[in-house]
C-alpha cells in the first residue's frame, strides 16, 4: 500500500543555494540550502532535499550557483547627501569648505530626489534595511512604503539658529530654543506617526544631530520622550574635537561622561562614529548596552580616522555598518582593511565578522534582531541572492577552504546581487527593480543635482571652496 504524502504549499521556495543563515556564532552555512516563505516570514530552513520533501512553492526561486544571505543593513545613512557625491572629499574641512555650500541650496524636492536615488542604488546592491537620519522631507515615509524596503527613519533636529553667525575659534554655539523645540516636536510627531507603518516594515527613532547642538533641557526632554514612546535615540556621539570642545566648555565634561551623567548610556542609544572617544570611553558605551554604528568610508574621507569598532566589539557591544556614499559591500571591505592597517594585524576584523556586522550584529545594534538579520524560522523574509558566476567572485571553492565569505567582503562590489526580497516580496528580480521606475528616479536626481550645482556656482561662497584650486589646476 502506497502512502501519499501531501506537501504543504508556501508562497516561495528558494532552493539549491549556498545558504548563509548567520545563525550561531559564525555564518551558518548550509550547502545546497533552501528556505520556505509564507507571507512575510520564513517558515522553514534546511537542505533543499529536506524542504522539497515537505513543501511546494507557488513560486520557486532556483538558486544554483548563487549565495543566499540575509538582507544587508545600512544603520546610518543621510540619503540627501548623495546629490553632492564626488564634490566634497580630499579636503581638511569637509563640512564648511566643501559640503555646506551645497547644503545651503538643498530644497525638500532635491532632498527627496536624493533619497530615491540612494535607496534604489543600495537596494540593487543588497541593502534591505535603511536607518535614514536626515531632515524630514515631504513624502519621505511614503517613498519607503512605496519601494518596499525596510526602514528605521530617524528625523534629524537640533537647536542651532537657522542662520548661524560667524563664530571665533572655541566660541560656544548660540541656541534658538524655540526653533529647536519646534523641530523636535515635528520629529516626534513624525516618529510617532510612522512607527510600525507599512505592516511593520517602517519603524522610527529620534535622530537629533549631536548632543553639543542642543541645550540640556532639550536633551532631557528628548530622552523622556524616547522612553515614553519606546524609541531609540540615533545620533552622532563623540564624532570630533568640535563636539568635545563644545561639551567640555559648556558642561565641564567630555561627551561620554556628560551623556552618562544625564542618563543616555543605555540600550536606547545608537551611537554613531565615536571617533573622538578614548578606548576607555568606547568600552563604557559598549558595556552600557548601547549599539554603535561606524561609517568607515565617510569618516575615512572626512577625517582620515578609523572608528573604534574593534574596541567596541571586544567590550561586547553590537556594531553596525553605515554609509552615505558607498554601498554596504564597500563598507565591509573598508572596515576590514582599515582595521587591519590600524592595528598592523591581518587577523583583525576577519571577513566573517564584518559580514555579521552587516547582518545579524547590525540588526542587534538597531534593536531589530528579533525580526531580521538572520535567516531562521519566524523571522521576516529579508534576503538577497548573489550571483557567484560573476568574474570577480569566481572561482567558487568549497574544500578544503570555503572562499565565499572572504570574496563577499574583499572582492564583491554589490553589482553581483541578482534578486532581493523584503518581507516575502521580491523587490529586485534578475537585476531589475520591480516596485519603482529606476530610470525616472535617476533622471530626477540628475536634474536636481544640476540645479543645486548651478546655485552653488552663482553663489560667491563657492570661490572659497578649497577644491576650486584643484579645478583651476586641471586636477578635477
**What pLDDT, on the 0 to 100 scale, is given for residue 208?**
92
Q: Which of 431, 449, 468 is the last residue of a domain?
A: 431
Distances (CA, A) of 50 to 91, 290, 374: 56, 40, 20
Q: Are 181 and 470 in contact (CB under 8 A)?
A: no
Q: Are 79 and 134 in contact (CB under 8 A)?
A: yes
- Does residue 442 lie within any of the structural domains? no
Q: Is 65 helix (H, G, I), strand (E, B) or coil?
A: coil
Instruction: Say which CATH number the domain at 409 has.
Output: 2.30.40.10
Query: 128 is written with which cell numbers?
Result: 534591505
- Does residue 113 lie within any of the structural domains? no
Pseudo-torsion of CA 184, 185, 189, 190, nearest 10°?
A: -30
Distance from C-alpha of 45 to C-alpha of 378, rounded to nearest angstrom: 10
Q: In terms of domains, do 275 and 157 share one? A: yes
Instruction: Say which CATH number the domain at 337 has.
Output: 3.20.20.140
- Does residue 183 lie within any of the structural domains? yes
Q: In terms of domains, do 359 and 424 share one? A: no
Q: In terms of domains, do 316 and 427 share one? A: no
Query: 280 is written with which cell numbers?
Result: 576607555
**Domain span including residue 17:** 6-68+375-431
**What pLDDT, on the 0 to 100 scale, is given for residue 1?**
41
Q: In terms of domains, do 273 and 156 share one? A: yes
Q: In terms of domains, do 355 and 392 share one? A: no
Q: How many of the other CB atoms lie within 10 Å of CB of 412?
A: 22
Q: In terms of domains, do 44 and 171 share one? A: no
72-77/66-70 β-pairing: unpaired
Q: Are 299 and 335 in contact (CB under 8 A)?
A: no
**What pLDDT, on the 0 to 100 scale, is given for residue 102?**
86
Beta-bridge partner residues of 44:
36
**What pLDDT, on the 0 to 100 scale, is given for residue 157?**
96
Nearest C-alpha neighbor of 374 from the set 18, 22, 9, 1: 22
- Does residue 338 lie within any of the structural domains? yes
For residue 440, with 0-12 CB atoms within 10 Å meaning exposed, 13-18 middle and 19 or more buried, which class applies? exposed
Q: In terms of domains, do 157 and 218 share one? A: yes
- Does residue 117 lie within any of the structural domains? no
Phi then psi for residue 298, to 5 deg, are -65, -50
264 contact partners, CB below 8 Å, separation of at least 6: 211, 219, 223, 233
Chunked in runs of 10, what are the mean pLDDT values of the chain (476 residues)? 72 98 97 98 98 97 98 96 87 79 90 97 98 95 98 96 76 93 97 97 96 96 97 95 94 97 97 97 98 94 93 98 94 98 97 98 98 98 98 97 98 98 98 98 97 89 82 87
**What burial letters (b/e) apply to 263-299, b meaning 16+ CB within 10 Å?**
ebbeebbbbbbbbbbeeebbbbbbebebbbbbbbbbb
- Does residue 287 lie within any of the structural domains? yes
Q: In terms of domains, do 291 and 384 share one? A: no
Q: In terms of domains, do 398 and 273 share one? A: no
DSSP 372-409: SSS--TTSB--EEEEETTSGGGPSP--SSS--HHHHHH
DSSP 270-324: EEEE-TT--HHHHHHHHHTT-EEEE-HHHHHHHH----SHHHHHHTT--EEE--S
**What pLDDT, on the 0 to 100 scale, is given for residue 232?**
98
Instruction: Give the chain's domain count.
Output: 2
What's 31-45 look like in SS3? Answer: EEEEEEEECCEEEEE
Amino acid at each position: 500500500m502506497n502512502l501519499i504524502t501531501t506537501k504543504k504549499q508556501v508562497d516561495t521556495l528558494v532552493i539549491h543555494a549556498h545558504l548563509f543563515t548567520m545563525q550561531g556564532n559564525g555564518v551558518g552555512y548550509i550547502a545546497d540550502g533552501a528556505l520556505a516563505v509564507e507571507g512575510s516570514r520564513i517558515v522553514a530552513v534546511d537542505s533543499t532535499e529536506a524542504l522539497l520533501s515537505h513543501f511546494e512553492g507557488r513560486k520557486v526561486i532556483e538558486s544554483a550557483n548563487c549565495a543566499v544571505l540575509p538582507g544587508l543593513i545600512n544603520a546610518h545613512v543621510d540619503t540627501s547627501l548623495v546629490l553632492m557625491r564626488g564634490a566634497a572629499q580630499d579636503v581638511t574641512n569637509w563640512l564648511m569648505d566643501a559640503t555646506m555650500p551645497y547644503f545651503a541650496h538643498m530644497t525638500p524636492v532635491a532632498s527627496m530626489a536624493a533619497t530615491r536615488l540612494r535607496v534604489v542604488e543600495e537596494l540593487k546592491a543588497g541593502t534591505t534595511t535603511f536607518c535614514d537620519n536626515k531632515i524630514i522631507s515631504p513624502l519621505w515615509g511614503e517613498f519607503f512604503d512605496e519601494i518596499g524596503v525596510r526602514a528605521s527613519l530617524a528625523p534629524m533636529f537640533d537647536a542651532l539658529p537657522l542662520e548661524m553667525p560667524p563664530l571665533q575659534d572655541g566660541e560656544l554655539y548660540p541656541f534658538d530654543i524655540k526653533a529647536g523645540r519646534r523641530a523636535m516636536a515635528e520629529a516626534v510627531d513624525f516618529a510617532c506617526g510612522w512607527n510600525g507603518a507599512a505592516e511593520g516594515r517602517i519603524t522610527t527613532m529620534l535622530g537629533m544631530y549631536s548632543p553639543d547642538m542642543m541645550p540640556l533641557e532639550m536633551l532631557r526632554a528628548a530622552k523622556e520622550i524616547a522612553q515614553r514612546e519606546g524609541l531609540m535615540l540615533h545620533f552622532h556621539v563623540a564624532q570630533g574635537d568640535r563636539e568635545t570642545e563644545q561639551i567640555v566648555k559648556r558642561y565641564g565634561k567630555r561627551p561620554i561622561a556628560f551623556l552618562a551623567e544625564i542618563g543616555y548610556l543605555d540600550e536606547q542609544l545608537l551611537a554613531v562614529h565615536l571617533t573622538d572617544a578614548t578606548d576607555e570611553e568606547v568600552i563604557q558605551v559598549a558595556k552600557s548596552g548601547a549599539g554603535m554604528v561606524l561609517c568607515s568610508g565617510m569618516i575615512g574621507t572626512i577625517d582620515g580616522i578609523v572608528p573604534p569598532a574593534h574596541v567596541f566589539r571586544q567590550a561586547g557591544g553590537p556594531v553596525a555598518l553605515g554609509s552615505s556614499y558607498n554601498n554596504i559591500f564597500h563598507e565591509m571591505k573598508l572596515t576590514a582593511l582599515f582595521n587591519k592597517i590600524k592595528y598592523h594585524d591581518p587577523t583583525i576584523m576577519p571577513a566573517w565578522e564584518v559580514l555579521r556586522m552587516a547582518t545579524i550584529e547590525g540588526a542587534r545594534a538597531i534593536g531589530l534582531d528579533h525580526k531580521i538579520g538572520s535567516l531562521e524560522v519566524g523571522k521576516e523574509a529579508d534576503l538577497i541572492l548573489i550571483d557567484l558566476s560573476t568574474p570577480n567572485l569566481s572561482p567558487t571553492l568549497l574544500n578544503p577552504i570555503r572562499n565565499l565569505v572572504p570574496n563577499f567582503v574583499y572582492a564583491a562590489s554589490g553589482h553581483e546581487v541578482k534578486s532581493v526580497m523584503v518581507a516575502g516580496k521580491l523587490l529586485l528580480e534578475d537585476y531589475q527593480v520591480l516596485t519603482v521606475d529606476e530610470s525616472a528616479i535617476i533622471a530626477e536626481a540628475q536634474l536636481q543635482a544640476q540645479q543645486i550645482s548651478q546655485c552653488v556656482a552663482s553663489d560667491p561662497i563657492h570661490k572659497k571652496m578649497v577644491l576650486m584650486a584643484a579645478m583651476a589646476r586641471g586636477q578635477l
